[in-house]
């Protein structure tokens, strides 16, 4: 009887250790790393595959990174076809480990057919889904709520604290949304045309009443033809565009060519596909973009 009791206690201790182990989560974007850590806290251990300032459109996991996925319990992807390599990742996951597409619950924004000239490739032609859903705090708030529920299912013993963190972060995002809307009130409706290096701001424009005018498709890494640039110049003149915006870490040759051809103001570069450093949070990203847009397109404040 004593031997059974001792064995039972050892088994209990072993089970406790297993339960104490954090959920191992692999993320395919730094913003997902931040979100997983914010909601999961010490209950998650995050492996971040995409570094800050990297281009998610051209990212391709190395064999060594795919091997690391053998040790994870969950993979977080942005979704909406941003990561065309998900099938390869799935093939390298242990049985029972899922890929959770964080952007899936977010209603999709489709590329405006009026911007067909600026599509970069057949996969991202007009009518395709814009994958940059995180450019809307409202979308991020919706995704946060659903990811919180997913983590609650995977960590049921920590359900209460995860739910508390989720609600707190949703409050932060609601405040951010209100702040952005308030700041953008300084931009007149006639100036709410956002000319960017590629089609990354459809969700932002949809929420805040802007017209998105990307110079070159979703990936932003191809050069526009002279005919496309000529058409862009005419559009800028017709709409009396005040500024065009390059992107931090992006290929901005098309934007610079337009600026040189028209003399239009060059706005401060925006954060589109990624953050620029590990110290940049999602809130930092959205505030930076908002401040840049208001500074270039907003009415000047009277002294």
Residue 210 falls within a domain, yes or no? yes
pTM: 0.86
Q: Degrees (nearest 5) of the Cα angle 133, 204, 83?
A: 25
Write out the residue range of the structural domain in which residue 239 sits: 188-297
Residue 142 falls within a domain, yes or no? no
d(CA 267, CA 1): 78
| Residue 81 CB coordination number (10 Å) | 17
Q: Average pLDDT of 204-233?
A: 74
Strands (E), the chain: 23-27, 44-48, 74-77, 98-101, 109-110, 129-130, 193-196, 211-214, 243-244, 265-266
Q: What is the largest CA-CA distance in the chain?
A: 90
Residue 263 falls within a domain, yes or no? yes
DSSP secondary structure, 219-247, as one string: T--SPPPHHHHHHHHHHHHHTT--EEB-B
How many domains is the chain partitioned into structurally?
1
CATH number, position 197 = 3.40.50.1980
- pLDDT tens figures, 271-298: 999 999 999 999 999 999 999 999 999 9
- pLDDT tens figures, 7-30: 434 444 433 334 468 999 999 999
- Cross-strand partners of 27: 48, 76
Q: Average pLDDT of 216-222?
A: 48
Query: Per-residue confidence at 134, pLDDT binned at 50, 70, 90?
Result: very high
Q: Average pLDDT of 89-105?
A: 95
44, 20 contact by CB (below 8 A): no
If we measure between CA atoms, which residue out of 285, 257, 259, 281 comes closest to residue 270? Answer: 285
- Given a cut of 90, is residue 141 above it in pLDDT? yes
82, 135 contact by CB (below 8 A): no
Angle separating helix axes 137-154 and 30-40, nearest 10 degrees: 50
pLDDT for 89: 95
Mean pLDDT of the chain: 85
Residue 20 falls within a domain, yes or no? no
- Cross-strand partners of 25: 46, 74
277, 52 contact by CB (below 8 A): yes
Residue 31 falls within a domain, yes or no? no
pLDDT for 260: 81
Residue 241 falls within a domain, yes or no? yes
Residue 193 falls within a domain, yes or no? yes
Residue 249 falls within a domain, yes or no? yes
């Amino acid at each position: 009887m004593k031997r059974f009791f001792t064995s039972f206690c050892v088994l209990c201790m072993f089970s406790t250790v297993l339960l104490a182990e954090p959920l191992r989560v692999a993320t395919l974007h730094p913003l997902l790393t931040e979100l997983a850590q914010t909601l999961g806290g010490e209950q998650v251990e995050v492996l971040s595959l995409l570094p800050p300032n990297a281009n998610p459109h051209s990212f391709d996991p190395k064999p060594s990174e795919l091997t690391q996925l053998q040790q994870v319990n969950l993979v977080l992807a942005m979704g909406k076809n941003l990561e065309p390599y998900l099938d390869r990742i799935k093939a390298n996951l242990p049985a029972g480990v899922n890929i959770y597409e964080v952007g899936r619950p977010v209603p999709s924004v489709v590329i405006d057919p009026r911007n067909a000239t600026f599509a970069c490739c057949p996969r991202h032609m007009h009518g395709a889904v814009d994958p940059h859903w995180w450019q809307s705090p409202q979308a991020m708030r919706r995704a946060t709520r659903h990811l919180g529920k997913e983590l609650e299912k995977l960590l049921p013993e920590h359900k209460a604290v995860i739910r508390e963190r989720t609600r707190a972060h949703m409050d932060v995002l609601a405040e951010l949304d209100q702040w952005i809307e308030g700041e953008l009130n300084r931009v007149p409706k006639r100036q709410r045309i956002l000319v960017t290096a590629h089609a990354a701001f459809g969700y932002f424009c949809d929420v805040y009443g802007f017209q998105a005018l990307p110079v070159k498709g979703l990936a932003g890494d191809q050069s526009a033809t002279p005919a496309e640039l000529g058409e862009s110049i005419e559009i800028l003149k017709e709409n009396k565009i005040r500024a065009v915006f390059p992107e931090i870490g992006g290929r901005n040759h098309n934007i610079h060519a337009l600026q040189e051809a028209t003399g239009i103001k060059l706005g401060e570069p925006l954060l589109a596909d990624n953050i620029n450093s590990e110290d940049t949070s999602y809130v930092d990203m959205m505030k930076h973009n908002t401040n840049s847009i208001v500074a270039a397109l907003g009415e000047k404040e009277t002294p």
